[in-house]
């Protein structure tokens, strides 16, 4: 395999427990991933799913029980060959949630720190630090100390330090979670632009699905130490493999039912709202208990009378949220949310027809309830 096609990071069959004996917790259960050259691979999941443990194993800050980790074609951990390279000797940089800047050092010295440690000449250090500070828009802050900076500025400095030390592969441990919403949105845009400009590979951890969808080339959704799904952001959102993935990657309306008929890839499910049709490539049997999931933005008011899926619901309330209107709908014990970018004459308390295309109805066996 040549240099251009070889993954920057390859993790194979990684297993990690915390604790021993009966109290041991399985944090990683035979996990394998690859990060390609120039790719941002995002690890997404709730607290305790194993995403940060996986990142820390790649960084060398945690030692797996078994498996193998390869970075830039070099094995840095292998249980079979008893290899475990120290973190400082792995060809990666890391950006932490807490910024991790030295408070007694200037911005310039913080960014220069990894270069000084690896013996880079002083003249080159001055050139590289000045260049990378300019890239992140912080050249004017070189003489300041971290305590004199905002949270957004500190995270830009942490990113500059990571880029200065290693432009090949950077690990990100929820770097935007401590920053206010407006600055966080701006930093997302800056991070995308910086990665395009410099071409580094990134393994990025977050619990924020919006952040994952915005930043990733591919997303790895994790669930209790396992990989639930890997795919492009659009595929993860539009075609989740399980109810867990669907629910974690965005708002959903859930509806229980039993399969009434199966004709080719069309499944009709009997529900409290009447028969609902869903298209699927998966196999279902008549009488099977299933869950139907529908994204709020896929629901529409007043579908054609001939529509496959058409049911009545009452508008409980309406909220204006800038980019869209959000309607709270109800029918008996069923409560849905519908989001629309178009204004409507529909008033609270009014009963209206609601519809959705069968291709936008997710169908999952009941056993997959998260």
The average pLDDT across 296-300 equals 96
pLDDT digits (tens, 9 = 90+) for 30-68: 999 999 999 999 999 999 999 999 999 999 999 999 999
Beta-carbon-side half-sphere exposure of residue 331 (alpha carbons within 13 Å): 16
The average pLDDT across 174-179 equals 86
To the nearest whole number, what is the mean pLDDT of the chain? Answer: 92
DSSP state of 222: E
pLDDT digits (tens, 9 = 90+) for 336-360: 999 999 887 889 999 999 999 999 9
Strands, sheet with 201-206, edge to edge from the N-terminal-most edge strand = 93-95, 169-173, 201-206, 40-44, 218-223, 226-231
Q: Which two tokens stand for residue 134?
A: 């300019």
- In three-state secondary structure terms, 174 is coil
Q: Which two tokens stand for residue 301?
A: 């008011």
First to last CA, the chain: 40
**Greater confidence, 90 or 167?**
90
Cα angle 210, 211, 213 (rounded to 5 degrees) comes to 65
Q: What's the count of helices (H) and strands (E) in the chain, helices before strands?
A: 8, 21
- Minimal CA–CA distance to 95: which of 185, 153, 40, 174? 174
């Amino acid at each position: 395999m040549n240099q251009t096609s070889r993954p920057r990071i390859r993790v194979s069959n990684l297993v990690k427990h915390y604790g021993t004996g009966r109290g041991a917790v399985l944090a990683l259960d035979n996990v394998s991933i690859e990060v390609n050259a120039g790719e941002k691979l995002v690890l997404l999941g709730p607290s305790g799913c194993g995403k940060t443990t996986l990142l820390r194993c790649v960084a060398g800050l945690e030692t797996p029980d078994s498996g193998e980790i390869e970075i830039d074609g070099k094995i840095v951990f292998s249980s079979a060959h008893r290899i475990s390279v120290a973190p400082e000797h792995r060809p990666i940089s890391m950006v932490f949630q807490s910024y991790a800047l030295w408070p007694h050092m200037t911005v310039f010295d913080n960014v220069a720190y990894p270069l000084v440690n690896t013996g880079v000449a002083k003249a080159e250090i001055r050139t590289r630090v000045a260049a990378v500070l300019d890239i992140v828009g912080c050249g004017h802050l070189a003489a300041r100390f971290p305590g004199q900076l905002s949270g957004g500025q500190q995270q830009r400095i942490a990113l500059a330090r990571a880029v200065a030390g290693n432009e090949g592969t950077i690990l990100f441990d929820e770097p935007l979670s401590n920053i206010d919403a407006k600055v966080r949105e701006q930093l997302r845009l800056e991070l995308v632009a910086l990665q395009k400009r410099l071409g580094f590979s990134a393994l990025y951890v977050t619990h924020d699905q919006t952040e994952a969808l915005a930043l990733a080339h591919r997303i790895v959704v994790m669930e209790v130490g396992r990989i639930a799904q890997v795919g492009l952001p659009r595929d993860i959102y539009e075609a989740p493999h399980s109810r867990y993935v669907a629910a974690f990657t965005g708002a959903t309306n859930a509806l229980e039912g039993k399969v009434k008929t199966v004709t080719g890839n069309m499944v009709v499910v009997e529900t409290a709202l009447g028969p609902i049709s869903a298209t699927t490539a998966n196999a279902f049997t008549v009488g099977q208990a299933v869950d139907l999931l529908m994204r709020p933005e896929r629901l529409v008011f007043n579908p054609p009378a001939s529509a496959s899926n058409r049911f009545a619901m009452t508008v409980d309330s309406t909220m204006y949220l800038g980019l869209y209107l959000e309607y709270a709908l109800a029918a008996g014990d069923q409560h849905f949310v519908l989001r629309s970018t178009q204004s409507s004459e529909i008033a609270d308390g009014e009963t209206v027809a609601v519809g959705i295309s069968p291709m936008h109805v997710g169908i999952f066996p009941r056993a997959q309830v998260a």
